[in-house]
Amino acid sequence: MVGRMTGFGHDRGEFSCDGVAVAEVARVTGTPVHVYSAALIDERYNALDRSFASWPHRLHYAIKANATLAIVRRMRGLGARADANSGGEIEVALRAGFGPADIVFTGVGKTAAELERAVGLKLAAINAESPGEVDRIAALAAAAGVRARVAVRINPDVEAGSHPHISTGHRATKFGMSLAEGAAMIRDMARRPSLHVVGLHVHIGSQITRPEPLVRAAEAVATLARELTAEGIALEHLDIGGGLGIAYEPGQTVVSVEDYANAVLPVIRRTGLAVVLEPGRWIVGPAGVIVTTVVDLKRQPDGGWFVVVDAGMTDLLRPALYGAFHGIEAVAPRTGEPIRADVVGPVCETSDTLGRDRALPPVEVGDLVVVRDTGAYGAVMASNYNRRPTAAEVIVEAGAWAVVRRRQTIDDMLQWDV
Ligand SMILES: Cc1ncc(COP(=O)(O)O)c(C=O)c1O
């Protein structure tokens, strides 16, 4: 314990999380290790919740952002509900203590087994993505003698303005149904005895930093909701998805949750419907870092350095997958001339670069370095490529810390090989 600071930063010269020196954690767990701040998770969840306080709202935490059980349980403790994107995430939600009525289920390509489980559980909503899927849900519900609660995912043809790989709301993507087709589909669904149409769903992408695309998407589903209500199709909610971005780069401006709520709530109010949100990144992204050790230093031909660390694309895929930026800092900065460096992992891919052309204090082999804002789409996207065991995960809470997911061993990793 080195101080009382909330979140991450240098506290009396040492990088710490909620007052706990991350070097202390790394000494015990080894590296790479994911370190999460409980205080920051709570603070961010509560800020988002507060900003929608003036209207009936439900925050369904997007489990895909960070599916570690302790994090999902924490969300439940804060009053969140759950957004699952696969059968596996439904089971995570249940094990974290959520009831089926707390869970919405989205996803392109839900399998027959996943749909059967979702229908049998009577989830809060299955967000259908195609006419074929609606037929399968209706048949499963009829066979089970239940009315499945369903919504339709609308593709509003809105450019999210984020990276193309995480933009999901324009017409050329695989997600959802166009407004016209979705409307026809709902009218048909409303006539089927085994289906109960409860809402409309839209999610146009992730890491969206301006409110305009999110508002345009909300307007599209709100307009359709009003038409359907006028026709006598009684919806319960509008699910406007997740997607709120965070500031990964110094000086990057992103819409605040207050401004987002102020922009989107007038649109929702006109429908009279409760709003469902599926936030992931905004809550947990800034609440995690990866602590990693420098394992080698190498000169580049142009005079810069390669700082080789023991975390790589198998621990944090975002830079390799999207060219994403993550801040990188020394845990205990040395004094002296700063260096320019590419911070790279040990994986046998040139894309295994965590940060390019960064200014760092001088570093030596054995030094600890942190990669920031890795709480979302970090550990969940880990792989065993190059037969690298997945890293340990730790939560810091009230000046103490605990391992919430232990580091994989070689035996763990090979246990399914026959
Ligand atoms: C359907 C759906 N809902 C919610 C989310 C969470 O998005 P974010 O983490 O950007 O809030 C995603 C992720 O892209 C998603 O696909």
Amino acid at 297: L
E-only strand ranges, 87-246: 103-105, 125-128, 148-153, 195-201, 237-239
Closest to 37 measured CA to CA, from 289, 213, 236: 289
Best probe residue, ligand 1, of 174, 200, 203, 255 (max atoms within 8 Å of C-beta): 203
Give me the chain's average pLDDT, please: 95
3-class DSSP assignment, residue 258: helix
pLDDT greater than 50 at residue 312: yes
Statement: residue 244 has pLDDT above 50: yes
| The predicted structure's pLDDT at residue 225 | 97
User: How crowded is residue 417: how many other Cβ atoms within 10 Å of its Cβ?
Assistant: 5
Which residues is 125 bridged to in the sheet? 104
Could you read off the pLDDT of 372-411 as tens digits, one per residue?
999 999 999 999 999 999 999 999 999 999 999 999 999 9
Residue type, 338: P
Q: Average pLDDT of 156-164?
A: 79
Is residue 208 lining ligand 1, measured as CB closer than 6 Å?
Answer: no
Find the 266 Cα to ligand 1 centroid distance in Å. Answer: 22
Phi-psi region of 71 (alpha: psi -120 to 50; beta: other; left: phi over 0): alpha
11: confidence class by pLDDT, cuts 50, 70, 90? confident
Given CA atoms 314, 320, 322, 323 in this order, what sign does their dihedral have?
Answer: positive
Torsion from C-alpha of 257, 258, 259, 265, nearest 10 degrees: 100
Token look-up 């999110």 returns 214
Question: Tell me, what DSSP letter sits at residue 177?
Answer: B
138: CB partners within 8 A, 6+ apart: 148, 189, 192, 194, 195
CB of 22 sitting under 6 A from ligand 1? no
Ligand 1 pocket: which of 83, 206, 248, 374 to mutate (most atoms within 8 A of CB): 206
Find the 237 Cα to ligand 1 centroid distance in Å. 18
Ligand 1 binding pocket includes 83 (Cβ within 6 Å): yes
Return the pLDDT at 4: 54
pLDDT at 163: 75
Question: Is residue 21 within 6 Å of ligand 1 at its C-beta?
Answer: no
pLDDT band at 184 (very low <50, low <70, confident <90, very high): very high
Closest atom, ligand 1, to C-alpha of 279 = 11
Reported confidence tier of residue 412, pLDDT bands at 50, 70, 90: very high
Residue 58 sits at the vertex; the CA angle it makes with 52 and 63, to the nearest 5 degrees, is 115
Q: What would the mean pLDDT of 42-47 be, rounded to a whole number?
A: 98
Q: What is the pLDDT of residues 260-272, one digit of tens each?
A: 999 999 999 999 9
Q: How far is the CA of 343 from the centre of ligand 1 (A)?
A: 28
Query: Is 343:320 a contact under the CB 8 Å cutoff?
Result: no
Looking at residue 1, its pLDDT comes to 43
Summarize the confidence of residues 243-265 as an average pLDDT.
97
8/374 Cα distance (integer angstroms): 12
62 lines ligand 1 (CB under 6 A): yes
With 70 as the cut, is the pLDDT of residue 230 above it? Answer: yes
pLDDT exceeds 70 at position 5: no
* pLDDT greater than 80 at residue 172: no
Residues near 128 by Cβ (< 8 Å), separated by ≥ 6? Answer: 134, 137, 150, 151, 152, 153, 185, 189
For residues 250 and 248, what is the distance between their CA atoms, to the nearest angstrom?
A: 7
Distance CA(90)–CA(78), nearest Å, equals 19
CA distance 339 to 360: 5
Averaged pLDDT, 289-305: 96
Give the distance (Å) from ligand 1 centre to CA of residue 204.
8
What pLDDT is stored for residue 48 in this prediction?
Answer: 98
Please work out whether the CB of residue 11 comes within 6 Å of at least one atom of ligand 1. Answer: no
Q: Which of 113, 172, 180, 348 is catalytic?
A: 348
pLDDT (average), residues 172-191: 92
Instruction: Write the DSSP symbol of residue 273.
Output: -
Helical pair 38-51 and 69-78, crossing angle rounded to 10 deg = 40
Is residue 391 helix, strand or coil? coil
The answer to whether the CB of 57 is under 6 A from ligand 1 is no
Mean pLDDT of all residues in 208-216:
96
Counting from 1 in the atom list of ligand 1, the atom nearest the Cα of 245 is: 10
pLDDT at 246 over 70: yes
Check whether 171 has a pLDDT greater than 90. no
pTM, two decimals, is 0.96
Helices (H), 122-209: 131-144, 179-190
Pairing of strands 328-330, 305-309: unpaired
Nearest to 106 by CA among 150, 169, 165, 148: 150
348 is catalytic: yes
Cβ neighbours of 271 (radius 10 Å): 21
Judge if the beta carbon of residue 239 lies within 6 A of ligand 1: no
Chain mean position to CA 111: 22
Query: Is 206 close to ligand 1, i.e. is its CB under 6 Å away?
Result: yes
Phi and psi angles of residue 294, each rounded to the nearest 5 degrees, phi first: -70, 120
Going from the Cα of 342 to the center of ligand 1, the distance in angstroms, rounded, reads 30
Residues 333 and 364 sit within 8 Å (Cβ to Cβ): no
Helices and strands (H, E) in the chain, number of each type: 12, 20
Please give the share of the chain, as a percent, with pLDDT higher than 70: 99
User: For 52-98, what is each residue's pLDDT tens digit?
Assistant: 999 999 999 999 999 999 999 999 999 999 999 999 999 999 999 99
